[in-house]
Amino acid sequence: MWRAYRKASRRAAELSIYANQQAIELEQAAARLNEHGFALEHTASELFPKIQRILAFLEQPLVAAAIPWVIRRGLARPYRRR
């Protein structure tokens, strides 16, 4: 019984240390996000309209069907003949 108690106690201590380390890492990540949040928001406000314009173009069926051909031509890999 004492062995089981010591083992459970040791594992509880290890788990507590691990949880504390994870909490510290999350706190640091949150601090970095708060620090750089304005820059990320500014970048997103510039980038998202451009992405939406590109997606509107790519959603057209003919363009979507031609993308694999364009990629192969861009990489200089012709279709394999069967």
* Residue 81 within a domain: no
Tens-place pLDDT, residues 58-75: 677 776 677 777 787 777
pLDDT at 36: 75
Query: Where is mean pLDDT largest: 22-26, 29-33, 39-43?
Result: 22-26
* Residue 41 within a domain: yes
Type of residue found at 23: A
pLDDT at 81: 59
**Closest by Cα among 74, 73, 54 to 64:** 54
Tokens at 53, concatenated: 């314009």
Length of the chain: 82
Count of the separate structural domains present in the chain: 1
Q: How far apart are CA 70 and CA 63, in angstroms?
A: 10
pTM score, whole prediction? 0.42
Which strand (E) or helix (H) includes residue 32? helix 2-58
- Structural domain of residue 55, as residue ranges? 2-74
Percent of the chain exceeding pLDDT 70 equals 87
Q: How far apart are CA 82 and CA 23, in angstroms?
A: 57
* Residue 18 within a domain: yes
